[in-house]
Structure 1
Amino acid sequence: MRQSLSTAVRFLVCLACLFSSRAVPVQAGRLMAAEITYGSLSSGTISLPGQADTYTFTAQLGDAIIVSASRVSGSLWPKLRLYDPQGHLIADKSSAIHTEIAIDLVQNFIFLPITTNNAASSGPALQLRPGPPETIAAAPGVYTLRVSDGFNGTYTGSYNLYLQKRNPPSGAASAAYAQNVNGAIAQPAEMDAVTFTAAAGDRIIFGMSRVSGDLWQKMRLYNPLGVLVQEISSAIHSEMNYTIPAGASGVYSIFTMDGFNGTYTGSYNLYIQKLNPPSAAASLSYSQTVSGVIDQPAEMKALTFTAAAGDRIFAGMSRASGSLWLKMRLYNPTG
């Protein structure tokens, strides 16, 4: 009898430990957490196996959020765990060098079962959008992030943590068509954000070139809702084209970052231009010679001319100075 009672006591103790390890640390940990805000980059170190650093941030309904973590030194596998204001685990991501979590705070949503043909449960509906985030949450308030090692909790090292809103990003620079924007990714996990206003039907080209450092050029384009619509990465120069869909006018965001596991750094130039027609373009006519200069990486110059059906046209371009490799692109009236 004493043995069975002792066994029962041990079971209850272990059960209590189980519940406390899952629920209590998240709530209690907020008392010792560092508070972070959108657009901020934080640095930390996991110096002991099993250690976890805790951060909190406040989110509002409608916020579209991205969180990233990159290893800076050591053997750490960055692991992110995101808890909602009630302490429920809603996202858990880890990777060897760089990891990210995307979350949208939606006011109300319905659950659509995928294993039955029953009607969805009652309640206000979520307006479905292309490219949904990994996680959808419904509660505004204080969210908790825990950073730890993702390889059995045994590796250690330093890391950078970046938090940003995607609709629109906090502290973002604004740009216009035909503008060259200079920037720098100075630390691992860092992202820069640029916003611009676009109208339905705009056909847009984006160019990003490395100026210094070992940065791999990575661009992400988000629509006014904060939905990722296009992404590209390359070692030295990246380009992408996008046409604004009908009914999707508004403020778009370009995020620039390192495309090699989020660890490389350097300066870059970003260029945005509309193709139908290009902004601030010079006009020319047949038999005319035009002089121009490309004086910054990623820069593009645009010229327009009027042509009639059946015209057979020749265009030539020669370098006058510098090391420029000559490149021409011809676009029709629709871009």
Structure 2
Amino acid sequence: MKVLQLIDSLQTGGAERTAVNYANLLADLIDKSFLCATRLEGALKTTIDKDVGYVFLNKKNTIDFKAIKKLNAFIKMHDIDFVHAHSTSYVQAAILKIFNSRIQVIWHDHNGNRNSHGLFKNLVLKFCSIFFNKVIVVNTNLKLWAEKNLFTKNIYYLSNFSVLTEEKQRTVLKGNIGKRIVCLANLRHPKNHILLLNAFKNISDYKTDWSLHLIGEDFNDAYSNQIIAYIIENKLEDHVFLYGLRQDINYILSQCDIGVLSSSSEGLPLSLLEYGLAKLAVVATNVGDCNKVITNNSEGILVNSNDVDAFSKGLLKYINNEDERTQAGEMLYKNVTNNFSAKKNLEQLISIYNKA
């Protein structure tokens, strides 16, 4: 079996990291594993295993026949059986299928906000689904949506998984040891950092020794400018710290005590799984399939999206009780290792590949 993971970029989003993780981990389990970035490279390129065959298309337009020709030649040269397309790379995969009907195309939907997409974008996706052999989704709502809206009938739910690799320890966090809150999320709208900042401000006036650490790519746009303006306007510069894109996540999490996620929409966020592997207590919004990771109050705290007061109370609960923080981190670790392991996920994935 030879499988190519297809992704539009190698920037550090959840779908991108999943594609790279699959390519790396499958290298030891199948005949040959490949990875293709269609549009942009990025920080994740350095994490690609040496045993993974890699190609970059440098695609310039939505339909770029030069890029399609290059990828098709690569697939034929290496006799690739499956193209596993992640997120927005489905257009490239569908066109590829027209030129090469022998391959099987699997589309993997990571977007927990699929229902809010405009009519045109979903119509393009629906048309492209004619060429999908199978569809994989990361939460149950996406499965229901796909079954209702796509032409593909072979639709599978496959939960995300995470791998905390041992990167060189570079990032030393500011703030007091034992009193750090961390948020792993690129600075994008669905991550709703303003909710998190509002909740943190509610507690920072009388919990002045705690700090908040935002780890994720800054796109230097209106959204990130809004975050920076909020920090300055509310005089939080000594309590809230932005680090941008970082690779040594394992080391960063080892310096923290509470993990947070304030998203307005999600699929199944890798950050929650990473918090679990690091044994952090977690406060998160109850969106997407977060409730499959935090299934009860002993594993963490879930609050309604946009409920600032509930988020603040959740933070205070763990800030004021170290024993509860420790117990919640241990319970979340057990759930993540038992139900969201890479081994279990890969077994299910290979089974999906093998289904006729």
TM-score bucket of the superposed structures, by smaller chain: under 0.3
Give the TM-score taking structure 2 as reference length.
0.23
Higher strand share: 1
Q: Which one has a bigger Cα radius of gyration?
A: 1
Give the TM-score taking structure 1 as reference length.
0.24
Higher helix share: 2
Which of the pair has the greater relative contact order for Cα pairs under 8 Å at 6+ separation? 1
